[in-house]
Structure 1
């Protein structure tokens, strides 16, 4: 089950693998029947209110993320599709962006038109959890025990620097290293080592 508070603190919204996304009165612990459950959302993996409480971000139940208008109870814009099993989706604080996380990758979207922003980031190991900070850093937990911190405000920063820095950036984003004649997938330790070198 996944739960989120409305910004005004009056409602809770829940998602569950066997039930649709449902709205509850936080004070009384009972369903708000004026906002019908979203039938299409049975099995949703995560839910999150927008900062103004007017929109709800629903990840799943399959490989799509949908923005719903809370009062009108209808989708806003196109569905955001991503390969793999969706785990979570977040409104990125203080931006119009949406971050979606599957068990394979992270994708950043423009919430205004539903278009992807920049390349998809592939994790060297299977992703099992995610969390977003208020300062736009996405933490990704992988099955190999590593945690990757991705500063989303730097996601779209133009690549600059020396050839070595540009190569490191490309290898981090693609999760592959450049061999003489081919690309080789990075192991988690190699990815982390490149990230640390780039941040120094």
Structure 2
């Protein structure tokens, strides 16, 4: 399900320090301010929360990583060892370790509690841009500008596998990985060992998208050769090729029952295919630009597709466009679904629109931003919406449209993101050395703790 589509709104180079922490009390108390130091006034390139939400780490231009107490904003310790800026950080599932990736071409594994460097991973030949732990904490993934995604043994530091991948997807049970490559091959890998199970050959162009079927028995791939291919995930055999697009296939997705596939292409066409017979069921016409994202609703009764200027909902049975969110003059900046899937929230210019996902009817419009709204996020409790536009971050009541709180920052706010499975958000960037992180409290709007430079508050 397309929980969140953030178009061109990555948090980017958010900056942490010099940092002003403000503890807010919404009564008559004045905010308490005190200045902290860290990262030597340089840019921060990466931030990650611990699994329990109690701490976060930041990696920066000054080659260090800082560990912070998320409850009070105090710096716990500084980790030194990299010889170039730190582009990526990620915690292990238990929070006891974290991994960092740097422009010095290395990854480093750290002990969160002691600050000790556990080991260094040295096989990349260019900047390490992203890192992640496997769900069991035994493996580490890293991506580098050398064109590889590497799988590592977190306990020994051994490189298990190097992938030259353009797209990657996990099987439903998490035991296998499918990756698409620029050379037109699809590789099936053991997620635990990185062992290549087999290579699937047949495409004549780069692989742009891959997906597993819900039962894990099939793989679909979309390619720059304008075709889709259906593969047997166990034997690697090509079951059939789907032809009909006149440009590369940018996005593919299975229906929840695995009986159909939807594909979006650079030709602006959305196509629905029958898996069993291999026939094209229908083409959905209405996009005027390349389709970069497609998905089915969880019940399979809707297809959602997106280009730069439109988000479209379709009836897969009739092929009719149910409704569309469009922006005439500028790209839609952000779209989000409420946790229960009943509402869709979109940004349009200076306003926010709330839509009924079943009927396509606009329920209400949230007005109050003086500048274009760049980002919007539905709160995990389903009661609130947080939006950013210009120098303001605003909390809204989803049900009534009432503005609950507006916070003015000292720089333009481009993005707001809830940390998965938590009540924490990161808002920014506000420019050099500034970002905000806070804890969402609907009953007592709006925040418990803020880090950053801002003026507060308006309601």
Which TM-score applies when normalising by structure 1? 0.68
Does residue 96 (structure 1) correspond to residue 259 (structure 2)? The answer is: yes
Structure 2 unaligned runs (5+)? 1-165, 329-355, 362-459
Contact 2:171 2:216 in 1 (8 A): yes
Deviation at 1:19, TM superposition (A): 5.7
SS of match in other structure, 2:229? strand
Does residue 38 (structure 1) correspond to residue 38 (structure 2)? The answer is: no
Question: RMSD across aligned C-alpha pairs, in angstroms?
Answer: 2.8
Aligned residues: 160
Partner Cα distance (2:277, 2:170) in 1: 26
Partner Cα distance (1:31, 1:45) in 2: 22
Partner Cα distance (1:95, 1:20) in 2: 23
Deviation at 1:78, TM superposition (A): 4.2
Deviation at 1:131, TM superposition (A): 3.5
Which residue does the alignment assign to 1:184?
Answer: none
Deviation per CA, 1:72-93, whole angstroms, max 9, x where unpaired? Answer: 2211134333222211221111
Partner Cα distance (1:12, 1:78) in 2: 21
Deviation at 1:138, TM superposition (A): 3.1
Which residue does the alignment assign to 1:117?
Answer: 281
Which residue does the alignment assign to 1:69?
Answer: 232
Deviation at 1:105, TM superposition (A): 0.8
The 3 A distance-change label for structure 1 pair 77 and 124 is closer
Partner Cα distance (2:269, 2:327) in 1: 14
Structure 1 unaligned runs (5+)? 159-168, 174-186, 190-195
SS of match in other structure, 1:59? strand
Higher helix share: 1
Contact 2:270 2:291 in 1 (8 A): no
The 3 A distance-change label for structure 1 pair 188 and 83 is farther
Partner Cα distance (2:272, 2:240) in 1: 15
The 3 A distance-change label for structure 1 pair 79 and 128 is closer
Deviation at 1:95, TM superposition (A): 4.9
The 3 A distance-change label for structure 1 pair 79 and 140 is closer
1:21 equivalent among 159, 163, 186: 186
SS of match in other structure, 2:172? coil
Partner Cα distance (1:19, 1:37) in 2: 10
Does residue 53 (structure 1) correspond to residue 226 (structure 2)? The answer is: no
Higher strand share: 2
Deviation at 1:65, TM superposition (A): 0.6
Deviation per CA, 1:158-188, whole angstroms, max 9, x where unpaired? Answer: 9xxxxxxxxxx5xx59xxxxxxxxxxxxx97
For the pair shown, which has the larger CA radius of gyration, 1 or 2?
Answer: 2
Deviation at 1:106, TM superposition (A): 0.3
Deviation per CA, 1:52-111, whole angstroms, max 9, x where unpaired? Answer: 212111111411111011222211134333222211221111251111111211011111
Partner Cα distance (1:111, 1:121) in 2: 18
Question: Equivalences for 1:1-200 in 2 at 5 Å?
Answer: 1-18=166-183, 20-28=185-193, 30-32=194-196, 35-41=197-203, 43-103=206-266, 104-118=268-282, 120-132=283-295, 133-136=297-300, 137-143=302-308, 145-150=309-314, 154-157=315-318, 199-200=360-361
